[in-house]
Structures are given as C-alpha cells and as structure tokens.
Amino acid sequence: MSETTHDHNNFTLLRVLLALMVVLGHAKLLSGTQWPSFPFNLGDAAVDCFFVVSGFLITGSYERCRGLFAFYVRRIFRLYPMYLFIVLAQTAIMVMLLPGGPFSELQATLRYVAANAVLANFAQYDIGGVLSGLHNPGINPSLWTLKIEIGFYLIVPLVYAAVRRWGWYALASIFVASVAYSLILHHLGHPRLAKQLPGQMQFFVVGMALYLHGSSLRVNAWVSALIAVGFLAAWTFVQPIPDGIRPLVVAAFIHTFALSTPSVPLRSDLSYSVYLTHGPLIQTLIVLGFFRENPLWIGGIVLAVLALSGITERLIERPGTELGRLLSTRMVRGLPMAPSAAS
C-alpha cells in the first residue's frame, strides 16, 4: 500500500471507538443487567475488529522494522509495561478486598501475579475467591486476547515469509485452515478453544490482506455508509455470523471506516488503556455495591475510564512505547530495511 494510505487513516479513532464498544459490552456482561441488545451487543464484534486491525498494523510494523529482534523489542514494550501495570493494579485491588485482610492469602497472591504476569490468565482468575460471588468471577475479561496477540507477533515473520514466497495463495490457505479449525472445535463442543490460535488467524490474515492489497480498493462514500450501517445491523440482528464470513464482514467495515473516510486527527491513542482498565474498574464498583443500572451511571463509567486511561497512557503506555522504539533503533542502526512482501 502507498505511504499516503498508511499515514492518512482513521485507525486511531476506530480503535478508541472499538475499545468503548468493549466497555459497554463488558458493563452488561459483568453486571448481568438486562439492557437492550444495541449497543451493548457489540463487544464481541469490537474484539473481532481489533484482531483484523492488528493484522493490518502489525504487518506494516514488521515491514518497516529493521530486523526481527527490533520488531519484537518494539512489540514487547508496546504491550507489556501497560499489561504488567494492570496485573499489579488488579492484584492490589483484590488483596484490599480480601475479608481476612491484605496478607491473608499471600501464597494465592503470589501465584496470581506469577501466572498473570506470563499471560496465563486462565490459571487463576482471582485471589482467595474474592470475586466468586459475582455474575462473572474474573476481574478483567479483556486479558484473554493478549496471549493471542503475542502469539500472532511470534508467527507473523513466518506468515510474512510465506506471503513473499506464494503471494495471496498463502493468505487464502491460512484463512481456510483457520476457519476449518474453528468449525471443527465448535462442532466438538469446545467454543473456548475455537477462539484461540489458530482459530483467530482468520481475522489476522484478513488484516494482512487489507494492508498488502487494500490500496487497490476504492469505496464510494454512500457505499461506505451502507457498509457501516450493515455492520452494526449484522451484529445486532444476524447472530451468530458464521466463521469465515465474520472476518470478511469485519474487514469491509474496517476498510470503510479506517481507509475510506476523511482522517480525524487525534493526539493520543487511548484504546489500549481503555481496553485494559475498564474491567477492573467495573468489577470493583460491583463488589463494593456502587454499580447502578441506569444510563447516567454507564456514562459516568465511560468518562471515568477515559480519564483513567488518559493518565495511564501518558505515564505507563507512552514511556514504554518510546523506550522500545529507542532500544530497537540503537540495536539495528545501520541494518537494511526488511524487504517488502509486495516486491
């Protein structure tokens, strides 16, 4: 794709809106309230969009990086400092809520930190059962996607190499294999495993295809508007959208919103901070009995999440990203750029 297409897009705005869609979806999921379907039904759609967006952006990041090690350094420092901060913050919240006091479950606390620090969130969801009475007993339902993201980082060089060797046939083959894996796991009664890798590769490779070939697509403004409305309608009225079709619907929406509309400049990208901070905030309010089922309260939660995210983005996320960029630049100074998959 052209440099202009890469630089003038609405991905930052899109990611912030997607993160807010996840906030609304999780507010309903965690509280168990009976709110109407729209817009609280769009959390899953937003996560699917994030995977496609990740495929697009990570492909571009890898293509521009000078060396594999530099790529991994940047990615780790982009994700992990904020992630670890959230794990430690969640730990602090839960130990303060323990009935026996902060030090009553020391071994469980250490196990929680150790497991979650290495992305093994499934190994321990809380400390001392402090969240066991909740409608959803996990303090942060967003964390499961991070290990999938890291998995994609690990295999993107192999996928990229396959694309350079076999072109779009490689992407199509991975897409079909991923859809087949997901369908088989669903048929066998394992929907949670179907949502892991390689089941999610169908979204990542569609994002890669958008990055590598999306510049040739031109979408009329009216068609773009219809696609956007159709996306919202599909996730509201057509459920479940089948594997294999869902990534294509998502890709059409993302191409429309991020690449076919006038760019809206934003100074900061709060999406990652919003994505990670809202779960612990909502669950803490529920545990303390402060959660209320009304629109004004939800609006207040959204504003609080945005304010908290602005602080964590500036103090944790941004310095980590800058440190990763600095380290990778020093490591690879003088090395040639990675060859383009389109060459």
Give one DSSP letter per residue of 239-283, joined into a string. Answer: -SPPTTTHHHHHHHHHIIIIISS-----S---HHHHHHHHHHHHH
pLDDT at 334 over 80: no
- The Cα–Cα gap between 303 and 289 comes to 19
Q: Are 270 and 19 in contact (CB under 8 A)?
A: yes
pLDDT tens digits along 63-104: 988 788 889 999 999 999 999 999 999 999 999 999 888 889
pLDDT tens digits along 296-307: 889 999 999 999
pLDDT at 337 over 70: no
Least confident of 104-113, 181-190, 208-217: 208-217
Residue among 103, 192, 195, 111 at smallest CA distance from 148: 195
Mean per-residue pLDDT over the chain, rounded: 88
> Which of the two residues, 8 and 44, has the higher pLDDT score?
44
CA count, 13 A, side-chain hemisphere, 58: 29
- The Cα–Cα gap between 254 and 139 comes to 30
Residue among 159, 210, 202 at smallest CA distance from 183: 202
Backbone angles phi, psi at 342, to 5 degrees: -85, -10
**Tokens 């310095």 sit on residue:** 319
pLDDT for the residue 292: 85
Judge if pTM exceeds 0.75.
Answer: yes
Residue among 332, 274, 305, 323 at smallest CA distance from 80: 323
- The Cα–Cα gap between 294 and 306 comes to 19
**Tokens 């993302």 sit on residue:** 254
- The Cα–Cα gap between 339 and 161 comes to 10
Q: Are 66 and 336 in contact (CB under 8 A)?
A: yes
pLDDT for the residue 228: 75
Backbone angles phi, psi at 238, to 5 degrees: -115, 90
Question: Per this entry, what is the length of the chain?
Answer: 343
pLDDT for the residue 188: 94
At residue 238 the predicted structure's pLDDT band, cuts being 50, 70 and 90, is confident
pLDDT tens digits along 26-77: 998 898 887 777 778 888 999 999 999 999 999 999 998 878 888 999 999 9
pLDDT at 226 over 90: no
pLDDT for the residue 234: 79
pLDDT for the residue 127: 92
Q: Are 40 and 56 in contact (CB under 8 A)?
A: no
pLDDT for the residue 333: 62
Q: Are 11 and 256 in contact (CB under 8 A)?
A: no
- Over residues 236-261, mean pLDDT: 85
Amino acid symbol at 229: V
pLDDT for the residue 221: 63
pLDDT at 343 over 50: no
- Domain chopping of the chain, boundaries: 3-331
pLDDT for the residue 264: 86
Structure tokens at 11: 């991905």
